Structure 1
């Protein structure tokens, strides 16, 4: 542009911020699934055929498990959890309270290296200065592949985040998410859920699984129902034998689903609790503290430490039932779904519930 005085000038627009700076401003980290190749965990390759593979999925098995960060008998407990996860034959595994030590053991498991892609293989997403832990997502590579992986940081005093995988389907996307909501504040949980629902609202078919930290009848349930999320594990029974809040059994771990208005919807068909059996047969005379409130009840020494720095044990109160020495202070929750195509999207003569030939050949799931 030339002025009346003959000077040339140019109006420069504001340059767009680099993508990573925009992501940081939104509390977003973009990740990639990692797979084990020749003993190394590398980025999973993109493949145009991933959507076709995912579209052959007729049944989906989801497991969520809070594995308990506590160092009490940690390696023994982790080994028991690994056997449970392997036997579950899950397509999707959502884990909470994963520590760097637990992740290190997990990624060395042969069944994980052979069959699963991990959202994190080195612990970069595990947050906390005094205690680093977080959420982890595992996908069975023969069932689900590709897509985007994002970690949304939530308003929290406990470094809580929402981990979301968007996977391509034919005419739709499958959104898988896991979260560990705030433990000690309902106001924080509601604020977190409002943000979570914003991040998930565009999903065609969505599964949200994790430790929700609210019991039956809580206001958080109303918020999720209003967003048309169905609690698919409402019949599971308690998932934490003794909650940190009041020491009573509670149902804190859930698998929820929303189908939207796309070509597909999810039909829950089965729910099962995992890890309810003790990992040894001794009498459970005491349990470790898993919260500051429990620690105030007193402690007693033990000769049963199998890990260094084992925390003090909490003696049972008079009349309090003995607890089994399970692999975690939570139970895992397994939920089976059928992925069903809506009638208006079904090709002429096709059966929306019939597994494809490739699935029948896999024969991974028991008949429901």
Structure 2
């Protein structure tokens, strides 16, 4: 499967519509945050990093603080989407919990839960699969991209049906708002399709959730490629100051001594400038001008200081949480209990709508 020009055009058209809709949604959130429920989450495949923080995590905390109800999914089943086994899963689950608590997700106000611990959620996948066709799943641009990136001769059924599993994740709690990046819009459209078709076939049960497009700039890895847990090019929230310095020291730059912020022509240099600017809450052009003709050495020194200063309190909180695995498990157990109560109610409604309540 390959991404075609038609796929790209489809995504571009969706992006423009979602940008306009997201502006309207932000205004509504400011007026009535309690009207929204958000579902978001991550696969526990390794430590979260700065790309995650500036791309999604900070926005989760922002929405929580605004008064939006937040559900955070630890997508442990979905680890198997593109791999044979879930390696070191217990460690990664606890690490994901520690990362979220350290950046400010409050389990007293938000629900953090594990995919595998909510049976009723996963039961929704079967009726939802009946609402989409094989051809629709194979045309999904994000599925195509993920299959290509997997470099596998054959892919599992879980990979192909991943968007439907995400639909169950979102709709089990009747989330009406899903923060996404541009590349996740096709998946989000599958969820909207599933909700609409279920409601048309069986009666109104699910909201048709809106995508809230992230305005966060995309950070590259230190090698100039996509920032990834598996490529060793990302600065983890849990990295030490020395580890951070080593990663930034070997980051790609160029031969120009004058440091400028120009992402189109100088992506590696600009990425480092942007990272420092995000950590300092400043404009990247201002950061670049301040470094001036200092070259790569001055740039990397500035970035290292900015990142370590920014992460210092997060790392301290994370270390404290990580030292108490029993407390992390307690937080997860409470979140699982809340998620199960919600999922059981939703599944009961689904069975009633489908005529599958045979007794009780």
Establish whether TM, by shorter chain, passes 0.5.
no
Q: Which has the higher helix share?
A: 2
Question: Greater CA radius of gyration, 1 or 2?
Answer: 1
Q: Normalized against structure 1, the TM-score is what?
A: 0.31
Q: Which has the higher strand share?
A: 1
